[in-house]
Amino acid sequence: MRILVTGGGGFLGSAICSMLVKRGDQVQSISRQAYPGLETMGISQFRGDLVDKGKIYSAAQGCDAIIHTAAKAGIWGDYSSYYQANVLGTQNIIEVCRELRITKLVYTSSPSVVFSGGDMEGVNESAPYPKRYLTAYPKTKAIAEQMVLNANDENLATVSLRPHLIWGPGDNHLVPRILARAKAGKLRKIGSRDVLVDSVYIDNAASAHILALDRLNFNSPCSGKAYFISNGEPWKLWDLVNEIILAGKGNVVNKTVSVSLAYFMGWLFEIIYTISRKHAEPPMTRFLAKELSTSHWFDISNARNDLGYVPMITIREGLDRLKKALSNH
C-alpha cells in the first residue's frame, strides 16, 4: 500500500512512518520542511503547507490512503491561523482524496474536541461537542473532525482517532515543556484534588493509526466514527508529571495554587496578551487551568472492539524507556 502521511516529520507522524516502512508499505510525507530521519527511512518527502491544495495534490499522487496527523497545536494564538491549518487544511485533504480517488482517510483528532471544562471520567465517544470552547485549537479540531466524519461515504472511508497526551522518547512538545518549566521552577499543582488523566505512549498511538488504516473500508464498523485512544491506565495527573520530571533528573513539583487563582490568572494573561498582541504563549490560560484541574480518562472499549487496539507498552515501561532515552541524550 502507498500511504501519504501529513506531518510525517512530527513526533506522531514519524512514528507512524517508521512502522509503515518496517512492514513494507510505500510511504510519502508532506511537511513544511524536510526531515533527515524520514530521508534515512527512504520516505519520499514533499514540502508544503496544507493550505496549498496543489502541494497536497502532488504529494498524494499514486496513494491509496492518507493518514492526516498534521495540525497547528497549542493553547493560545490567533483563531484564523488555527482555522487555516486545521480546518482549511483538512478540507483540502478531503478534496484531494476525492479528486485522486483515494479511498481511505485516517484523521488525528484530540479528546479536547469534546472537553467542556469539567471532569471527563470514563466517557465514551457519545460525549457531545460543547457549545463553547476556551481556545482555538479544540474548536478548529472539532470542526475538522466533523468534516472528516461527514465525508465518509461509498467512495471515501474515514475514521478519526483522539489520542490523549502522547509522550515518549523523541517527544518535541509535551516532555520538553514539562522539563523546561520544572527546571525554571514555573510548575505548580493546580487545586488539591488528585485528578486522574489518561495518556498514551507514542508506540501505542502510532499502532492505533495503523490498525485503523487496516480495518477501515466502506462497510467496516469504524468507518465514519471517532475513537478515544489511550494507554487505558488512568494515572494521577501530578504523579505522571513528576515521573516524567524524574526521568529527566529534575525536581518534582510540590507547590500548589488554587483552581480559582489559576483560572483568574489565565483570564488576566489572556487579556494582557491580546491587548499587547503578543504571539508567545501565556504562562497560564483559562483552558490550561481547567485542563490541569479536572480528570480526563476515557472508555477505549470501542477502539479495542472495532480496531483491535491493544496498548502494548505500559506507562511504567514507557517511563523506563523515556528515562533511558533522556539519559543517553
137 carries an active-site annotation: yes
* Rounded Cα distance, 151 and 160, in Å: 11
Give how far Cα 226 sits from Cα of 42, 127, 307, Å. Answer: 31, 11, 11
Are the CB atoms for 166 and 234 separated by under 8 Å?
Answer: no
Cβ-proximal residues to 152 (8 Å cutoff; 6+ apart), any chain = 158, 159, 223, 224
Q: Is 166 helix (H, G, I), strand (E, B) or coil?
A: strand
35, 137, 201, 263: the catalytic one is 137
Q: How, if at all, do strands 235-236 and 196-197 pair?
A: antiparallel
The values of phi and psi at residue 270, to 5°, are: -60, -40
DSSP H/E element including 229: strand 225-229
Cβ-proximal residues to 63 (8 Å cutoff; 6+ apart), any chain = 2, 3, 4, 28, 100, 102
* Rounded Cα distance, 4 and 7, in Å: 10
Report residue 47 CA to chain centroid gap: 21
Give me the count of residues in the chain: 329
Q: Which triple of cell numbers denotes residue 59? A: 504529494
Q: Which triple of cell numbers denotes residue 121? A: 471520567
* Rounded Cα distance, 323 and 318, in Å: 9
Cβ-proximal residues to 144 (8 Å cutoff; 6+ apart), any chain = 86, 87, 89, 90, 91, 107, 109
**Residues labelled as active-site residues:** 137
